[in-house]
Structure 1
Amino acid sequence: MEDIGYPHGCERQEKAVAQSQSSSNDEFQPSKLGTKEYWDHAYERELQSFYDSGDVGEIWFGEESMDRIITWLEMQKISKDVALLDIGTGNGVFLIELAKSGFTNLTGIDNSSTAVELAKAIAEKEEVMSLKLQVADFLHPFPKLSQYDICIDKGTFDAISLSPDHPAEKRSLYQQSLHSVLKEGGMFLITSCNWTKEELVNHFSEGFEMLQELPTPKFQFGGKIGNSVTALVFRRK
């Protein structure tokens, strides 16, 4: 089996190498990918590209990651009017696909105002006008971000984990925020390229229980076979 590569911004390979050479803990090296400035600049470029050529920009983890989650939601016969929050919505393409699949109560937040501007522009072009898109920092949620049935994260927890400024504290804030905005019994679906199943289960052990691991592509690295990304479903206790 060949190495199929990693999504942009993933540092799992670097982590694997580091851990094979030392007894380091589960921290990553700080990265510009963990800063708001990096994403502001990235979305400024993507916004200009969209206005110039109509290119919507990068789909984090690829289209298969969106299909995987939508398929799971449909297999669970989740109500189409379920209150769903996309944490770190970026260009909003995932929410647009959810809307096209019939979901009607969709909210996307991002701490980059340029990302939200891009998401709104793409949604308008696609004539998907029902999305609620807003600038918000998930680590410091305000009252309007409350009581969702489903929260979805594709890469935001990864980016927070790469922060050069107190990443462990930010991961703790993330978990607290998730617990506050998700209804009791609500579902949390996370896709990560930096954390393994065991690490994610450990991170969210307080207040959440893992329900299912979703199938993801495989890779071969250092003679071992694993998943290139991890996709898990949790339930809030």
Structure 2
Amino acid sequence: RTSSMEATAKTTLCCGNNSDSETEKCSDNDFGTSKLGTKEYWEDTYQRELDTFKDVGDVGEIWFGEESMSRVLRWMDKEKIPHSAAILDIGTGNGVFLTELAKHGYSNLTGIDYSLSSVELARNVLQAENLTDEVDFLNCHGELKDFDICIDKGTFDAISLNPENTKEGKLQYVQALKDVLKDKGLFAITSCNWTKEQLLDRFSEGFEFVQELPTPSFHFGGKKGNSVTALIFKRAQ
């Protein structure tokens, strides 16, 4: 299958690392554009990671840390998501989250990214784990639909930083998400730039808020906040 979703790039932003830590603080306000929102940046990034993987077998960074993957997997276990559920990993990057999903028994997996280097890297990573039979790798051409679950860890953040057509890109993302999800399909998003309130506003059309997943919190100046926001939405009928 192929996809109509554009601008699906993984993003380090200010929270990407390869540890379990998610303690860095990002702005709670809307933010300006950046090269982190461009296709060229991510193509270069994943080409370097692909070269490194081929040389030494290092898969590269795990954006938001391993805890970000574990958090979503715990939610899926708690909700008893069937292992046959059709799952789309938006902005698959190095494919590490697809690897974890496959190891947890999920077999109907699709990864998408507009970076050719990312797709090749993800293929290599899953091939090394002997998990390529469970995953369909895509670039952004054509159409996707009827997914039970879509998962985004940082991709909407990256789209929000794109210097070109920033507003239109965010609107297109929401519409494309509605197009690929089944009615009542679930959407799990992790962001280090958007607050819960902002995400509720941006996904208010066509989606119902389901729950917020617990994330690390901080205290500063007598106020409490979260360094990362993780929300679950359901596609409205």
TM-score interval for Structure 1 and Structure 2 normalised by the shorter chain: 0.7 to 0.9
Bigger radius of gyration among the two = 1
- State the AA in 2 paired with 1:8: G
| Structure with more contact order per residue of length (Cα contacts < 8 Å, sep ≥ 6) | 2
Q: Secondary structure at the match of 2:162?
A: coil
Count of residue pairs the alignment pairs up: 217
Partner of 2:94: 91
Amino acid at match of 1:142: G
Where do 5+ consecutive residues of structure 1 fail to align?
A: 1-5, 17-25
Show the counterpart of 2:224.
225
Letter in 1 for 2:142: F
**Which position in structure 2 is the counterpart of 1:132?**
136
Question: Structure 2: how far apart are the matches of 1:92 and 1:112?
Answer: 12
Gaps of 5+ in 2: 1-13
Question: 2:90 corresponds to which letter in structure 1?
Answer: I
Partner of 1:118: 121
Is the Cα–Cα contact under 8 Å of residues 34 and 163 in structure 2 kept in the other structure? Answer: yes
Alpha-carbon distance in 2 for matches of 1:79, 1:120:
24
| Secondary structure in 2 matching 1:27 | coil
Instruction: Tell me the SS of whatever aligns to 2:93.
Output: coil
Q: Tell me the residue number matched to 1:42.
A: 45
Report the TM-score when normalising by structure 1. Answer: 0.87
Q: Structure 1 residue aligned with 2:15, among 4, 7, 10? A: 7
Residue pair 2:16, 2:62 contacting (<8 A) in 1 also: no
**Equivalent position amino acid for 1:135 in 2:** N
Matches within 5 A, 1:27-176: 27-129=30-132, 130-136=134-140, 142-143=142-143, 145-176=144-175
Q: Distance in 1 between matches of 2:15 and 2:217?
A: 13
Root-mean-square deviation (CA, aligned residues, Å) is 1.7
CA deviation string 1:129-177 (max 9, x = no partner): 22111111xxxx622x111010000000000001111211100000000
What is the Cα deviation at residue 220 of structure 1? 3.4
| Partner residue in 2 for 1:21 | none
The answer as to whether partners of 2:16 and 2:65 remain within 8 angstroms in 1 is no
Please report the TM-score for the alignment, with normalisation by the length of structure 2: 0.87
Identity of aligned residues (%): 57
- 1:218: Cα distance to partner? 1.1
Q: Distance in 2 between matches of 1:56 and 1:166?
A: 32
Distance 1:14 1:63 in 2: 19
Specify the SS of the correspondent of 1:15: coil
How many Å apart are 1:197 and its aligned residue? 0.3
